[in-house]
Copies of this chain bind each other. A is one copy, B any other.
Amino acid sequence: MNSFGRLFRVSVFGESHGEGVGVVIDGCPAGLPLTQNDFLADLERRKGGMQKGATPRKEDDIPQLKSGIFNGKTTGFPIMIFFENKNVRSQDYEKQRSIPRPGHADWVAHQKFGGYEDYRGSGHFSARLTVGLVAAGVIAKKLMPELNIEAKLIEAGGERDIEKGIQKAIEAKDSVGGIVECRVQNSPVGLGEPYFDSVESVLSHILFSIPAVRGVEFGTGFAAARMFGSEHNDAIVDMSGKTRTNHAGGIVGGITNGNEILFRVAFKPTSSTPKTQHSLNWDSGKTEDFSVKGRHDLCVALRAPVIVEAATAITLADFMLCAQKISPVLNCE
């Protein structure tokens, strides 16, 4: 449920406006050098920084390493990382409690958890939980220094020029979505496990756990459905398995073929749009006009690339351990 992975196992906990959020990483090999500093760059990217369109809520996001590290190296035991919530303004959420926000989990959470859910700022459904994913991703990346995992926002608000897309949102006083593309260089051949644990299967599993994701496609993706087989097939050109084209996105039969891994992830527009909406008030049982309170991104996809990278790194680290391409005890300097 709140855990993911087989040998490299990531579990998240926490709520947006509770004491904090955190992550437990179980199965990390022993001997990996790890300090707070390792996390700062990716955590900063997740915050969205000074970017236009990113949420004005700013948390320090200091990763507190509570277990699994000794003398600056991982021990092979579970690593627990905790992030305190400091910049909390729960009253925003109390006020609008009677209107389950469209696009948010308010209504379904209420039905599923019987009203016991922590609804403040979406509680456990909040994008704040992704801080734990990013932290786990940092560790996964360090386990595979030879891999180059890079995700980029390639489209926002329907525009390839991202600035323009965000500007569109600002002008329309509305939120927009975006598309993140991720590329992985230097993946070994042979990652992925038949039948149900194809690379696409496991990767899409974690990607669709990221709030706001609505679509995932590998290689040529949906466009492949409009190609002829002779166009789409990637001819192998040498004994290393290199292919002339890469329509497959580096994955054939669910298994990496050593070419660049390539996929795209579609993010819907932030549900908390500044625009007035008209939806149900469950106290009155009637629909009404209302505006969402709280501090939000105009475009969640802006902060998404580092989260997509983290999800990718977590998935690949697990596959690498399954394929015995990472040792349970490392010899790092």
Contact = CB atoms under 8 A, between A and B. Distances in A.
Interface of A: 1-4, 6-7, 9, 11-15, 18-22, 24, 26-27, 30-31, 66-68, 70-71, 73-80, 82, 100, 102-105, 107-109, 111-114, 116-118, 122-125, 129, 155, 157-158, 169, 172, 174-179, 189-190, 193-198, 200-202, 204-209, 211, 213-222, 224-239, 241, 243, 247-249, 252-257, 266-273, 275, 277-280, 282, 285, 287, 301, 322-324, 327-330
Contacts of A194: 1-2, 77, 124-125
Given A13-B77, A102-B236, A217-B214, A225 B178 contact: yes
Given A217-B222, A235-B278, A255-B108, A76 B158 contact: no
A195 B124 contact: yes
A234 B123 contact: no
B196 A205 contact: yes
Contact of A229 (B14, B238, B269): B269
A78 to B, nearest CB: 4
A105 B270 contact: no
Given A112-B76, A112-B190, A222-B214, A201 B196 contact: no
B118 A77 contact: yes
Contact of A196 (B1, B178, B237): B1
B1 A27 contact: yes
Nearest to A296: B229
A255 B109 contact: yes
A14 to B, nearest CB: 5
Contacts of A15: 67, 70, 75, 77
Nearest to A220: B214
A131 to B, nearest CB: 13
B190 A201 contact: no
Nearest to A241: B107
A142 to B, nearest CB: 15
A171 B173 CA distance: 51
B190 A111 contact: yes
Contacts of A238: 280, 285
A3 B196 contact: yes
21 contacts: A2-B196, A12-B78, A13-B67, A15-B70, A74-B116, A77-B118, A103-B232, A103-B248, A108-B241, A124-B195, A157-B226, A201-B204, A208-B254, A214-B217, A214-B221, A214-B249, A228-B269, A229-B270, A229-B272, A239-B282, A324-B328
A229 B74 CA distance: 32
